[in-house]
Amino acid sequence: MSSSLLTLPEPVLHVSGVTPPHVTEAVVEDAARAGVEIVWIQPGAESEAAVARAEALGLDVIHGGPCLLIELPRLPS
């Protein structure tokens, strides 16, 4: 287990954040430094500051929608 995206042994291109909003803001900073391209901020993890900072850092940001892990099982087969 790693305490930061910066200490992972392999590069990461996409991150899905399920953290408290204040932690998400720090994850966004680490993601940009680590070369991440896309940050998916899950419901409950987002903050205006995290989204704005990710966009300012040039990251593609997915936010403001439902969590697919919760919604997919509810969809009809």
Residue 73 has pLDDT above 90, yes or no: no
Evaluate if residue 53 carries a pLDDT over 70: yes
- The bridge status of strand 38-41 relative to strand 60-62 is parallel
Q: How far apart are CA 72 and CA 51, in angstroms?
A: 24
2-50: per-residue pLDDT in tens?
Answer: 678 888 889 889 998 889 999 999 999 999 999 999 999 989 999 999 9
**Residue 43 CB partners (closer than 8 Å, separation 6+):** 65, 66, 67
Q: Give the pairing type, strands 14-17 and 38-41.
A: parallel
What is the CATH class of 12-74? alpha beta
Token duo for residue 77: 């087969």
Rg (CA), the chain: 13
What's the confidence (pLDDT) of residue 65? 83
**pLDDT for the residue numbered 71:** 78
pLDDT of residue 2: 67
pTM of the model: 0.82
